[in-house]
Amino acid sequence: MKRVPLLVLFIAVFGLVGCSTLRTVPAGDSQSLLATPTYQLKVRADNPDLERTVYAMALADLKPILPIGKEKGAAGTVAVAFSSRHATVSAWGSVGVGRSWYSGAYPPPSGAISDRGIPKAGPRTYENGTLLMTIRDADGHKLWSAEYQLKGRWSLADSPEAAARICLKKVTAALRKTLKK
């Protein structure tokens, strides 16, 4: 009977540690976002190649919900800043990987020390990422902003591009919710 509350407590404590987070800050109502006739998309990322990739992804995600246009005719801006950090975690923590799997028998039967056909549990790499999107009108007033911090360890983000894609999807979903689209 006492195991269930301890299990729930364990999941609650360790389930919340390291979770990805989304924060949005609407500066006005959704109508002010739609009142601006055209927005210019600007992107900043860790390197020029990633900037081009994030730009293409953001343009594809935002064009259906906001009027994104060319630089000369834009009345507002959508600024997207993305940064990622590469990280590695070992499946075994600080314990070295042995040559065989333990299956409950002790001492291990003779001949059990073999690594044939057993996958190695090597380090797993992932990306953490942060995306900040700020939407401003022609006068530079902030209309809406969002920040998404991705903890890649709990997702499928194994590259900066994958982390950017996840971040953009979350922020775009929040913008859609704000605009009710």
**pLDDT tens-digit profile of 108-144?**
455 544 444 444 555 566 778 899 999 999 888 999 9
- What is the CATH number for 63? 3.30.160.670
**Running DSSP on this structure, what letter comes out for residue 97?**
P
Q: Give the total number of structural domains in the chain.
A: 1
Q: Provide the residue range defining the domain that includes 166.
A: 20-91+127-181
Asked if the structure places residue 108 within a domain, the reply is no
**Running DSSP on this structure, what letter comes out for residue 108?**
P
Asked if the structure places residue 53 within a domain, the reply is yes
Asked if the structure places residue 44 within a domain, the reply is yes
Pairwise CA distance, residues 59 & 53, whole Å: 10
Q: Would you tell me how many other CB atoms lie within 10 Å of the CB of residue 145?
A: 17
State how beta strands 123-136 and 142-150 pair: antiparallel
Asked if the structure places residue 173 within a domain, the reply is yes
Please tell me the predicted confidence (pLDDT) of residue 158.
79
pTM value? 0.69
Asked if the structure places residue 87 within a domain, the reply is yes
Query: 46, exposed or middle or buried, with CB in 10 Å at 0-12, 13-18, 19+?
Result: middle
**How far is CA 20 from each of CA 2, 16, 146, 166, rounded to the nearest angstrom?**
30, 9, 13, 11
Asked if the structure places residue 181 within a domain, the reply is yes
| Per-position pLDDT tens, the chain of length 181 | 455 555 444 444 444 445 778 887 876 677 888 888 889 999 999 888 889 999 999 999 999 999 998 767 778 999 999 998 876 654 444 333 444 444 444 454 555 444 444 445 555 667 788 999 999 998 889 999 999 998 866 667 778 898 899 999 999 999 999 988 6
Asked if the structure places residue 12 within a domain, the reply is no
